Amino acid sequence: MRLKTFVPFMLILSAATCFAQTFMIVATEIRDGEEPGRPFPSQEGMIEGMFDLGFVSFDTGPYAPAVDWGSMDFGEPRAIARQGLAQYLLVAEVRSVTEARDLSTVKNHTGESPAQGMLKIQTSVRYCLFEVRSAKPVGRGEKSFDNESPETLELSYGEFLHQVGRVLAGLGVDLMRNTPERP
């Protein structure tokens, strides 16, 4: 029974990858100096954002491939992306600092005092997009986020980082679209 389901799924997936750009997503997430448990909300947001933008994407599941931002060594994720037939590898490092919010100075979008336990979240991201076949970087960038707007004020850490991931998906697609055509 499983084989009957798996084969059609793989045929649909392979057909989709023939017509759409495929991205492998790798994220590292650090919250207050420590890696939270997987799955990372930012990575989940990146995959959902790619889907909404009309692109096929995948990640490595619970496996965390070795990434070295210091030397910009992403050899293992690129090898996995090549094996998974991805055209692009989007790698992101998401670092957040959280602290309890002083609720005496905050009003939510309805003018009421927000719920207890709200966090103030400051997030910095660096990201890089690679073309898998050539192993060349297409582009990279850095961006900062916070949850100070009325729309993000009451989001939990996971909800906020999920939105950050969705923005990162768009940034990755923008890098891909701004790449000159290669012969």
For the ranges 100-109, 113-122, 151-160, which has the lowest average pLDDT?
100-109
- Whether the pTM exceeds 0.75: the reply is yes
Written as six digits, the tokens of 129 are 């997009």
* CB count in 10 Å sphere of residue 67: 20
Written as six digits, the tokens of 87 are 């055209």
**Is the residue at 148 inside a domain?**
no
| Mean pLDDT, range 134-145, rounded to an integer | 93
Residue 26: CATH number of its domain: 3.40.50
**Is the residue at 98 inside a domain?**
no
Q: Please tell me the total count of domains within the chain.
A: 1
What is the C-alpha to C-alpha distance for residues 11 and 161, in angstroms, rounded to an integer?
33
Q: Which domain holds residue 36?
A: 2-90+127-140+157-177
Beta-carbon contacts of residue 51 (< 8 Å; ≥ 6 apart): 57
**Is the residue at 101 inside a domain?**
no
**Is the residue at 150 inside a domain?**
no
Confidence of residue 169 (pLDDT cuts 50, 70, 90): very high
What is the C-alpha to C-alpha distance for residues 94 and 70, in angstroms, rounded to an integer?
15
Specify the DSSP class assigned to residue 104: G
Helix (H, G, I), strand (E, B) or coil at 6: helix
